[in-house]
Amino acid sequence: MAITSTTCSGSLPYLGYWLGLRVEHYEALLANPGAVQWLEVVSENYMVSGGLPLVWLDRFRERFPLVMHGVSLSIGSTDPLDEDYLARLAALAQRIEPAWVSDHLCWTGVQGVNLHDLMPLPYTEEALAHVVSRVKRVQDRLKRRILLENVSSYVSFADSQLTEWEFIAAIAERADCLILLDINNVHVSAMNHGFSSLDYLRGIPVSRVQQFHLAGYEQGERLIIDTHDAPVSNTVWDLYTEAVRRFGRVSTMIERDDNFPPLAELMNELEHARSLAEPLLRDAA
Amino acid sequence: MNTLQAIQQQMLRAVIVERTPPIQTIRSDGIADAESRLDVYRQGYRIRLRDALKNEFTGLQCMTGQQFDSLLDKYVDAHPSEHYNIRWYGSGLAAFLDYARPWRDKPHMAEMARLDWAISTAFDAADEPSLGIAELSAIPPDAWANLHLSLQENLQFLACMHNTDAFRRAADAGAKRPRLHLFTRAHQVMVWRKAMTVHYRQLDDDEWQVLGAAMRGMPFAALCETLAQYHDESAAMPRMVTLLQGWLEAGLIRGLSAG
């Protein structure tokens, strides 16, 4: 497989290897300002009126450049886009000037009810057109291109006309948005639906991938559950090396959402990512 | 073919309601059948909502003990989440306890939920400036009578018939559950945030009356008259000074205006 060493997406920067900002690591990160160069914040945690969350955010903003990652945009929902949400998201982006803003390719609720989960879409032409038009509206509202992340899924639909990777690729091209490729989520969905994770990687356009997420999962009785609460598995590390071969130098982040280990443990995982990717990237240069 | 909207509505119902007709478009295969697949979302939905409530209602958990989990289950069953941020899911819990059996016969629970929620909303309420002692000292003595105190807009007052604040305090400290006491009349509990820390405490009757008068826009002279209803002439002014000092230290006063 040919290695592509170009960075993607025009003007957005390459950010190296970094972590998601979580309350559990606030103190440790401030005590070790050299630990990472960048941090990804969960947008909704800071879309509040005041108080401690914004004080912490400002402290980190003084020391680290930030990236915003949301969970509630609900870009695939058939409910109208939430204007209040978009206004708060835009205000947060104005406050912290992130390198980029991302969310998930999914829906989180409909009929005014929120499931607080990343629900998969059927991969149909109808859904494709629906999402593309909404991505364009969001990008116009935020005055920037956004990144959409592939989600782990447990159901698939008989109505689907496309594979997941065809669907994501088509959205990125038609809406002119970028892709946050969660390597763990590719693996989880591949195992749960019986497709090839390598086929998935091959189907994603290189020029659209701006960021990788790496995370851990839990093996359920029949399905793999995306918990993001465990170390990255060996299978996902293997897939990551394949992704580096295909996509080249892509900003890479360890995303831990629960069962938080000491910061040093996540730094070790980050170092492992670097040790896997850098030799491949050097060889390709 | 099912429309996107129809699929989303069917899935929504399948997740929030335990028993629904099978959704034909969801595939079963050799890995797992459609129901097992949907179960992942069903279970995740309930776990997330329950966890969000557990974070916010620590006083209620202390008060209800082992009944807490079943209470949360009933609330989750009755109340789908309507806000994009799960942090707001608990906004209806106190009202739910007001009307739902068996809790409506135990009003201390709704009262506890209201206090927990007030503390939660104070945590990330809008920041406001607060007046310092130096700014107050600069006011000439003859100007005081007509001054109006502006209090923090995020101040909250709860009329409590029980010692609910003691349960929250026990939860915050990880201490033993206190005994429930029913008061003969309501006590006001004030919730506020100073800088980054949320505080709550019971108010004495005279303090509540004076704060109430200030919130109604009455001038300082009228606040002193209110206090005089509780204290004799020699004690009223020292008490006013004590209250003012306490409010300044607590950061409750946002500003002063004349006339």
Torsion of CA B252, B253, B254, B259, to 10 degrees: 150
For residue A272, the model assigns a pLDDT of 97
Q: What's the mean pLDDT in A4-33?
A: 79
Q: In this complex, do A110 and B8 lie within 8 Å of one another by their Cβ atoms?
A: yes
**Taking 70 as the threshold, does the pLDDT of residue A6 lie above it?**
no
**Cα A84 versus chain centre, distance:** 23
Q: How many angstroms away from the CA of B103 is the closest CA of chain A?
A: 25
**Rounded CA separation B201/B182 (Å):** 17
Sequence-distant (6+) residues with CB within 8 A of A176 are A136, A139, A145
Chain centroid to CA B158? 9
The values of phi and psi at residue B81, to 5°, are -80, 135
Question: What pLDDT is attached to residue B259?
Answer: 65
A-chain CB neighbours of B53 within 8 Å are none
Q: How many CB pairs under 8 A join A and B?
A: 136
Bridge-based pairing of strands A224-225 and A218-219 is: antiparallel
Q: What's the predicted TM-score (pTM) here?
A: 0.91
* A66-69 and A101-104 strand pairing: parallel
What's the pLDDT at A7?
38
Contact A52 B123 (CB under 8 A): yes
CA distances (Å), B61 to each of A192, B97, B116, B170, in order? 37, 14, 10, 11
Of residues A1 and B81, the one with the higher pLDDT is B81
CATH of domain B126-259: 3.90.930.50
Give residue B140's pLDDT band: very low, low, confident or very high (50, 70, 90): confident
Residue A8 pLDDT greater than 50, yes or no? no
The two tokens of residue B23 are: 């959704």
- Burial of residue B174 (CB within 10 Å: 0-12, 13-18, 19+) is exposed
CA–CA gap between residue A17 and residue A9 (Å, rounded): 18
Domains in chain B: boundaries: 1-124, 126-259
Q: How confident is the model at residue B1 (pLDDT cuts 50, 70, 90)?
A: low
Please state the rounded mean pLDDT for residues A139-148.
Answer: 97
Chain B residues 188-207 with a CB less than 8 Å from chain A: 193, 196
Highest mean pLDDT among A103-107, B143-147, B228-232: A103-107
The ipTM (two decimal places) reads: 0.93
